[in-house]
Amino acid sequence: MTTSHTVEIDRLAFGWPNMPRALLDIPRLQIETGGSLFLRGPSGSGKSTLLNLLSGVQGGYSGSISICGERLETLSAHRRDQLRADHIGLIFQQFNLLPWLSPIENVALACRFSKRRREKAKVSGGTVAKEAERLLRELGLGEVVESRRRTSSLSIGQQQRVAAARALIGNPELIIADEPTSALDSEHRDRFIDLLMAETRASGASLLFVSHDASLASHFDRTLELGATTGNSEEALTC
């Protein structure tokens, strides 16, 4: 197995039991280290489903998926959970944060299930909390840190940046963002994407960015289109 690819998909097919035909059918897809992929498709095209497959919480597919050189289908459920904790940072559309933890605690949460990321965060920031604070500052949330704001009092844009800091802490190899900007206005959206791109690049991680908004494609190295009802993808795709 080569390790220069963070994600490698080979002849992947997946369908929900109640569906007449396969939802996903991807002959080949690779994201190399440091690369970025824009995953586009209308609602119901299976974007979130693909992310569930990649992060190892959904099985039952044919073909193979490798994350950082580990083939998911050969791993136990427990090892897949560990792989996700160690190598993948996730950002969602909404509800990214636990409102009863402070922003710094929310960021530090990602190190809780991963010794690897905990150690890396300590190397970089001294302690996990300091590293979380550093990332928040870098993402323009210095004011949030200083004034000890409560998580529930943050604006949506601020919350998404806290979520980005959590995905980035401990330098995971793959950042997956599932429509993280759909609740933001266009100005904040572009700022968020630029920031996310810069930080991912700085940490050397690969980025998988999901959206149904085609206008964002220009930010990324490559684009993968998922069809609405036809379970397909255009061609073998390498980025």
Ligand X SMILES: Nc1ncnc2c1ncn2[C@@H]1O[C@H](COP(=O)(O)OP(=O)(O)OP(=O)(O)O)[C@@H](O)[C@H]1O
Query: Which one of the spans 4-12, 37-45, 132-140, 147-155 is the region binding ligand X (CB under 6 A)?
Result: 37-45
Q: Is 48 in the site for Mg ion (CB under 5 A)?
A: yes
Taking the mean position of all CA atoms in its chain, how far away is CA 96?
12
Min CB(97)–other proteins separation in Å: 8
Min CB(110)–other proteins separation in Å: 5
Q: Is 182 in the site for other proteins (CB under 8 A)?
A: no
Q: Is 2 in the site for ligand X (CB under 6 A)?
A: no
Q: Please give, one letter per residue, the 3-state secondary structure of the chain.
A: CCCCEEEEEEEEEECCCCCCCCCEEEEEEEEECCCEEEEECCCCCCHHHHHHHHCCCCCCCEEEEEECCEEHHHCCHHHHHHHHHHHEEEECCCCCCCCCCCHHHHHHHHHCCCHHHHHHHHHHHCCHHHHHHHHHHHCCCHHHHHCCCCHHHCCHHHHHHHHHHHHHCCCCCEEEEECCCCCCCHHHHHHHHHHHHHHHHHHCCEEEEEECCHHHHHHCCEEEECCCCCCCCCCCEEC
Nearest to 36 by CA among 176, 234, 139: 176
Q: Is 81 in the site for other proteins (CB under 8 A)?
A: yes
Among residues 7, 37, 38, 47, the one that binds ligand X under rule CB under 6 A: 47
Q: Is 130 in the site for ligand X (CB under 6 A)?
A: no
Distance CA 207, CA 118 (A): 21
Give which of Mg ion, ligand X, other proteins, none residue 23 binds (C-beta under 5 to 8 Å, depending on kind).
Answer: ligand X
Q: Is 104 in the site for other proteins (CB under 8 A)?
A: no
Among residues 1, 3, 16, 142, the one that binds ligand X under rule CB under 6 A: 16
Q: Is 218 in the site for ligand X (CB under 6 A)?
A: no
Q: Is 20 in the site for ligand X (CB under 6 A)?
A: no
Q: Is 212 in the site for ligand X (CB under 6 A)?
A: yes
Q: Which two tokens stand for residue 79?
A: 């090892």
Per-position x/- string for 185-224, each x denoting binding to other proteins as judged by CB under 8 A, each - no binding:
----------------------------------------
> For binding to other proteins (CB under 8 A), which residues are involved?
48, 51-52, 55, 57-58, 77-78, 81-82, 84-86, 90, 92, 95-101, 109-110, 112-114, 166, 178
> For binding to Mg ion (CB under 5 A), which residues are involved?
48
